[in-house]
């Protein structure tokens, strides 16, 4: 290398590289091929599920009402899934989100009974408290360096207790305006407001995760925290903010729950734990082979359509849980199989 | 079991603890061991020394049964025959090994670690007899001259104590004296105080009549510890002599092949005036002190490529991690004139350092991101537009850089792990070059990198020095340092022992300094 051959002499120049610009294709022009099954099995599954129930339940399943209620039923799961996706992307667990959402809901309803402030204020308080819980998680995980699995599991119990303290074990009926109740139950034409909220949130999350420096850094930290640190990323801050965001979005989900259900009960929130995690895990096997918004939405639609179809077919309530669990098992088995094949070479 | 067990009382006394002869081994037609003989009398410590590539580690692996020798050869341990290349056979006659990484489970205690090898002592058939298991462990540990709590997780023990546990595990079921233990660079990552503790244990083994084969890079240990020494060079035994007969310089000559005649003292530190550089200092380390390294001073100027040489355990491997902020450090470090706070790599990076770590897979690549994102991860700010990453600009830049790095443009959106090791390393180097760093600091820059990519990485680095960077590279590959650097700082026993530049900068001179420096 002491010879004086420069890079310029050996290699294509920058100008030549500019010629290769043909490979720079904007993302909106890169889709048209048929979706590969390995990465879009959920889409094919969804088509199959819809086709099956459309045939077995003629005129019932494939109707505006059914599709609308099916969507609405997964909207809050969806909001929670978008929220919890963020710490998952950063390589962290958040098992507290369902309890936090429940706490936020209970607080919203409790405040509506105890105070006379407008609902906007109550919602702000509920979301702020949920965000603070997320910050506490973040502090303990990112800066005190405790394991996220244990921290958030413990926090979920702490928060569940606080919710029970507010309800005193009873059910509280919220005193809300009709406008607020409409948020959870009404919609624009056939489209429920909750679905609109979810769509907006999913879009924002997608832009954030895939197209902002912060989202990219979050994915990097989740993939290899040691290498991320050595690339100059403030790993602790990324982890902290991921858990804060998850807390805030869980708080928002709680407000939506308060609007939809209207009755404060401590069992409501925790019931969302499993379906949400199932959606995120299932989503991570779709589209990209890691946590991503598109995959999560596909997973939600699949779960929503499947459960709605089963319910309309007259299946008993327990089937929902079994369905969720089975779907998740199939998803992770397929995902693992795919990774194993990919690591052999593709 | 192969062979006969011919053991008579006389034979034990007169025969060697370990005897192998005529061991040859080749890989793909390249012979790495030529007809090697090794004989270790009972109750002696036999040092085995040689430079990288001398065949030392291959010999150990043949003894341990990882590799089969080219021709079937029998070895003898206290007169008992074993077949070389057969792990079980070697183990059964009492040839035992403690490898460099020790192979301990850090979370478990010494009692547990010993039981992992030999099984727990039980009451009845199922219940662990903790009292007896503990006693057994304690006895072995004490017989080696150690005194520590055998119930503590071994991860909390000192380096010498951990080595002691590994030795105890290797020898626990060998109650008699007729065993041979091979210690493979046990002090490579050990502070000298700890090493003294370990030496005491090794001497105990010798007193008990065992044969000890002691592999080391540190020549002073040969004199401290060994009765005899065998020097390997180019896969051949070039000398087997009593250790006392060989001076430090004799050993260095034997290891390097006689050509290295200049002892350390005669090598003046080359002043940087001989280097073709500007005055612009881009990095200055003053009194840098960290794990296994103390009082490290270095000044790097724009346009310079400076190497850091040293054997494993010399402190060489700590220099760049300390500068990058991966490991704690004391002392001052300035990059581009700005003082760098220790503790987090981002401080050094912000000041203009580009660290390329040695362990590429674990500490450099981000496997879930594609090649483009791996390239841009340290400079996302430069693609920011309206708060977003401008995907078009990022791709254009990636195409530009991938062609400069000669990485297939078609791979731009593939997972980084689908690239070859050499191309991955080029991407990691490119990650920093595209930031135009003041200093690019590489640890083992071409480990696991093919020859073609190597040449290319060197050219890229040289090119970076022309556009305002300084390059620092720590490496165990002396040829690489001699060929690519303007000057080389040699580290041994945690300190700088010399600096080489100009005509004095040769492979031999680097190795000679790295090996001969005394404590």
Query: In the numeric block, which tokens belong to residue B280?
Result: 């612009």
Shortest Cα–Cα distance, B465 to chain A (Å): 11
**Predicted pLDDT of residue A68:** 83
> Which of A7, A24, A227 is the closest to B364 by Cβ?
A227
Q: What is the Cα–Cα distance from B313 to B327, expressed in whole angstroms?
A: 16
**Predicted pLDDT of residue B190:** 75
**Predicted pLDDT of residue B3:** 41
> Are B98 and B242 in the same domain?
yes
**Predicted pLDDT of residue A341:** 58
**Predicted pLDDT of residue B189:** 67
On whether residue A48 sits in a domain, the answer given is no
Q: What is the pLDDT of residues B234-268, one digit of tens each?
A: 889 999 999 999 888 888 888 887 554 444 333 34
On whether residue B260 sits in a domain, the answer given is no
User: Which of the given ranges, A16-20, A106-110, B191-195, B490-494, has the highest pLDDT on average?
Assistant: A106-110
With an 8 Å Cβ cutoff, are B381 and A231 in contact? Answer: no
With an 8 Å Cβ cutoff, are A229 and B344 in contact? Answer: yes
On whether residue B67 sits in a domain, the answer given is yes
Q: What is the Cα–Cα distance from A256 to A253, expressed in whole angstroms?
A: 5
Give B355's contacts in chain A (Cβ within 8 Å).
Answer: 230
Q: Which domain holds residue B111?
A: 9-255
> Are B251 and B282 in the same domain?
no
- For residues A110 and A264, the answer to whether their CB atoms sit within 8 Å is yes
Stretches in chain B below the pLDDT threshold 70: 1-14, 175-177, 189, 258-279, 516-519
- For residues A85 and A253, the answer to whether their CB atoms sit within 8 Å is no
**Predicted pLDDT of residue B350:** 94
Residue B446 sits in a domain of what CATH number? 3.40.50.300
On whether residue A338 sits in a domain, the answer given is no
On whether residue B54 sits in a domain, the answer given is yes
Residue in the structure block whose two tokens are 């090649």: B371
Q: What is the pLDDT of residues A163-210, one digit of tens each?
A: 999 999 889 999 999 999 999 988 898 889 999 999 999 999 999 999
CA-nearest residue of chain A to B357? A230
> Which of B431, B458, B460 is the closest to A231 by Cβ?
B431
**Predicted pLDDT of residue B106:** 87
> Are B383 and B496 in the same domain?
yes
Pairing of strands B305-309, B470-474: parallel
CA-nearest residue of chain A to B486? A2
On whether residue B296 sits in a domain, the answer given is yes
On whether residue B471 sits in a domain, the answer given is yes
**Predicted pLDDT of residue B126:** 79
Q: Which residue has the higher pLDDT, A243 or A289?
A: A243
For chain B, what is the domain count? 2
Give B389's contacts in chain A (Cβ within 8 Å).
Answer: 211-213, 216
**Among B264, B237, B235, B239, which residue's Cα sits nearest to residue B249?**
B264
Give B409's contacts in chain A (Cβ within 8 Å).
Answer: 20, 23
Query: Is 0.85 exceeded by the ipTM?
Result: no
Interface mutation vs chain B, best among A143, A230, A290, A342, most B CBs within 10 Å: A230
With an 8 Å Cβ cutoff, are A211 and B368 in contact? Answer: no
Q: What is the Cα–Cα distance from B244 to B9, expressed in whole angstroms?
A: 31
> Which of B344, B364, B392 is the closest to A26 by Cβ?
B392
> Are B396 and B494 in the same domain?
yes
> Are B269 and B251 in the same domain?
no
State the SS3 of chain A. Answer: CCCCCCHHHHCCCHHHHHHHHHHCCCHHHCCCCCCCHHHHHHHHHHHHHHHHHHHHCCCCCCCHHHHHHHHHHHHHHHHHHHHHHHHHHCCCCCCCHHHHHHHHHHHHHHHHHHCCCCHHHHHHHHHHHHHHHHHHHHHHHHHCCCCHHHHHHHHHHHHHHHHHHHHCCCCEECCCCHHHHHHHHCEECCEEHHHHHHHHHHHHHHHHHHHCHHHHHHHHHHHCHHHHHHCCCCHHHHHHHHHHHHHHHHHHHHHHHHHHHCEECCCCHHHHHHHHHHHHHHHHCCCCCCCCHHHHHHHHHHHHHHHHHHHHCCCCCHHHHHHHHHHHHHHHHHHHHHHHHHHHCC
On whether residue A2 sits in a domain, the answer given is no
End residue of a domain, out of B255, B273, B293 = B255
> Are B181 and B280 in the same domain?
no
Q: Is the pLDDT of residue A99 over 90?
A: yes
CA dihedral B207→B209→B211→B213, nearest 10 degrees, is -10
Give B400's contacts in chain A (Cβ within 8 Å).
Answer: 14, 17-18
Q: Is the pLDDT of residue A5 over 50?
A: no
> Are B378 and B506 in the same domain?
yes
Shortest Cα–Cα distance, A320 to chain B (Å): 33
> Are B99 and B202 in the same domain?
yes
**Predicted pLDDT of residue B262:** 42
On whether residue A229 sits in a domain, the answer given is yes
Shortest Cα–Cα distance, B378 to chain A (Å): 5
> Which of B377, B381, B391 is the closest to A231 by Cβ?
B377
Collect all residues with Cβ–Cβ distance below 8 Å to B347 and sequence separation of at least 6: B325, B340, B341
Q: Is the dihedral of CA B460, B466, B471, B473 positive or negative?
A: positive
For chain A, what is the domain count? 1
**Predicted pLDDT of residue B266:** 36
DSSP string, B268-316: PPPPGGGS---S-EEEEEEEEEETTEEEEEEEEETT-EEEEE--TTSSH
Interface mutation vs chain B, best among A1, A27, A28, A217, most B CBs within 10 Å: A1
With an 8 Å Cβ cutoff, are B364 and A5 in contact? Answer: no
Q: What is the pLDDT of residues A264-273, one digit of tens each?
A: 999 999 999 9
On whether residue A68 sits in a domain, the answer given is no
On whether residue B2 sits in a domain, the answer given is no
With an 8 Å Cβ cutoff, are B350 and A232 in contact? Answer: yes
> Are B249 and B319 in the same domain?
no
Exposed/middle/buried for residue A58 (C-beta within 10 Å: 0-12, 13-18, 19+): exposed
Q: Which domain holds residue A231?
A: 75-270+287-298
On whether residue A174 sits in a domain, the answer given is yes
Exposed/middle/buried for residue B407 (C-beta within 10 Å: 0-12, 13-18, 19+): buried
**Over residues A290-296, mean pLDDT:** 92
> Are B234 and B270 in the same domain?
no
Q: Is the dihedral of CA A173, A272, A181, A85 positive or negative?
A: positive
> Are B269 and B250 in the same domain?
no
End residue of a domain, out of B220, B255, B290 = B255
> Which of B362, B399, B463 is the closest to A226 by Cβ?
B362
> Are B249 and B291 in the same domain?
no
On whether residue B351 sits in a domain, the answer given is yes
Shortest Cα–Cα distance, B120 to chain A (Å): 32
**Predicted pLDDT of residue B279:** 67
Exposed/middle/buried for residue B8 (C-beta within 10 Å: 0-12, 13-18, 19+): exposed
On whether residue A26 sits in a domain, the answer given is no
């Amino acid at each position: 290398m002491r010879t004086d051959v420069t890079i310029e002499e050996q290699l294509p120049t920058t100008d030549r590289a500019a010629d290769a610009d043909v490979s720079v294709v904007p993302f909106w022009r890169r889709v048209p091929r048929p979706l590969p099954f390995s990465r879009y099995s959920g889409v094919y599954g969804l088509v199959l599920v819809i086709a099956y129930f459309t045939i077995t339940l003629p005129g019932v399943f494939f109707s505006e009402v059914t599709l609308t209620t099916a969507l609405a039923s997964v909207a809050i799961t969806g909001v929670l899934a978008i929220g919890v996706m963020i710490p998952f992307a950063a390589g962290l667990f958040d098992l507290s989100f369902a309890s936090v959402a429940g706490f936020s809901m209970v607080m919203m309803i409790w405040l509506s009974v105890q105070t006379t402030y407008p609902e906007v204020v109550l919602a702000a308080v509920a979301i702020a408290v949920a965000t603070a819980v997320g910050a506490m998680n973040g502090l303990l995980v990112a800066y005190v360096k405790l394991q996220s699995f244990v921290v958030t599991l413990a926090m979920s119990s702490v928060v569940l207790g606080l919710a029970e303290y507010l309800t005193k074990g009873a059910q509280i009926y919220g005193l809300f305006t009709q406008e607020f109740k409409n948020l959870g139950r009404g919609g624009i034409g056939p489209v429920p407001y909750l679905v609109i909220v979810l769509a907006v949130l999913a879009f924002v999350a997608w832009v954030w995760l895939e197209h902002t420096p912060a989202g990219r850094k979050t994915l990097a930290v989740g993939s290899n925290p040691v290498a991320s640190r050595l690339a100059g990323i403030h790993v602790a801050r990324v982890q902290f903010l991921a858990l804060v965001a998850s807390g805030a979005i869980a708080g928002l989900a709680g407000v939506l729950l308060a609007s939809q259900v209207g009755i404060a009960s401590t069992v409501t929130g925790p019931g969302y734990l499993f379906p949400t995690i199932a959606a995120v895990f299932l989503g991570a096997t779709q589209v990209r082979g890691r946590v991503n918004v598109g995959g999560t939405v596909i997973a939600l639609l699949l779960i929503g359509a499947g459960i709605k179809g089963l319910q309309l077919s007259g299946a008993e309530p327990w089937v929902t849980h079994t369905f969720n669990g089975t779907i998740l098992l199939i998803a992770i088995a397929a995902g693992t199989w795919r990774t194993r094949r990919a690591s052999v070479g593709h | 079991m192969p062979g006969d067990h011919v053991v008579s009382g006389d034979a034990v006394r007169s025969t060697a603890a370990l005897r192998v002869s005529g061991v040859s081994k080749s890989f793909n037609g390249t012979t790495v061991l030529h007809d090697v003989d090794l004989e270790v009398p009972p109750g002696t410590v036999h040092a085995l020394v040689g430079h990288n590539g001398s065949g030392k580690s291959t010999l150990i692996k043949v003894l341990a049964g990882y590799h089969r020798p080219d021709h079937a050869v029998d070895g003898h341990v206290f007169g008992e025959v074993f077949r070389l290349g057969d792990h079980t056979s070697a183990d059964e006659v009492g040839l035992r090994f403690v490898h460099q990484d020790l192979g301990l489970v850090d979370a478990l205690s010494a009692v547990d670690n010993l039981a992992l090898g030999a099984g727990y002592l039980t009451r009845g058939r199922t219940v662990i007899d903790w009292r007896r298991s503990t006693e057994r462990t304690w006895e072995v540990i004490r017989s080696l001259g150690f005194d520590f709590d055998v119930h503590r997780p071994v991860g909390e023990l000192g380096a010498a104590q951990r080595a002691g546990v590994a030795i105890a595990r290797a020898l626990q079921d060998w109650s008699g004296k007729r065993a041979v233990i091979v210690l493979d660079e046990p002090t490579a990552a050990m502070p000298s105080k700890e090493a003294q503790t370990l030496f005491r244990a090794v001497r105990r083994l010798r007193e008990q009549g065992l044969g000890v084969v002691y592999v080391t890079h540190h020549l002073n240990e040969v004199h401290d510890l060994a009765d005899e020494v065998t020097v390997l060079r180019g896969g051949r035994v070039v000398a087997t002599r009593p250790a006392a007969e060989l001076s430090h310089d004799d050993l260095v000559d034997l290891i390097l092949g006689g050509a290295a005649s200049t002892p350390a003292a005669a090598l003046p530190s080359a002043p940087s005036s001989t280097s073709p550089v500007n005055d612009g200092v881009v990095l200055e380390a003053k009194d840098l002190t960290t794990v296994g390294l103390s009082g490290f001073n270095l000044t790097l100027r724009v346009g310079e490529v400076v190497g850091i040489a040293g054997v494993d355990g010399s402190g060489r491997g700590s220099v760049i991690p300390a500068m990058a902020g991966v490991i704690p450090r004391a002392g001052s470090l300035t990059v581009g004139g700005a003082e760098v706070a220790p503790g987090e790599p981002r401080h050094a990076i912000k000041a203009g350092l580009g660290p390329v770590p040695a362990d590429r897979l674990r500490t450099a690549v981000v496997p879930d991101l594609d090649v483009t994102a791996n390239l841009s991860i340290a400079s996302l700010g430069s693609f920011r537009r309206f708060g977003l990453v401008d995907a078009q600009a990022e791709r254009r830049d990636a195409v530009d850089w991938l062609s400069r790095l000669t990485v297939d443009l078609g791979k731009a959106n593939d997972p980084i792990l689908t690239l070859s090791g050499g191309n991955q390393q080029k991407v990691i180097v490119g990650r920093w070059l595209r930031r135009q760093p003041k200093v690019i600091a590489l640890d083992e820059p071409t480990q696991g990198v093919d020859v073609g990519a190597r040449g290319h990485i060197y050219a890229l680095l040289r090119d970076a020095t022309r556009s305002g960077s300084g390059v620092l590279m720590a490496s165990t590959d002396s040829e690489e340092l001699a060929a690519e650097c303007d000057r080389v700082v040699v580290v041994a026993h945690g300190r700088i022992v010399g600096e080489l530049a100009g005509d004095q900068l040769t492979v031999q001179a680097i190795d000679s300094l790295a090996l001969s420096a005394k404590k």
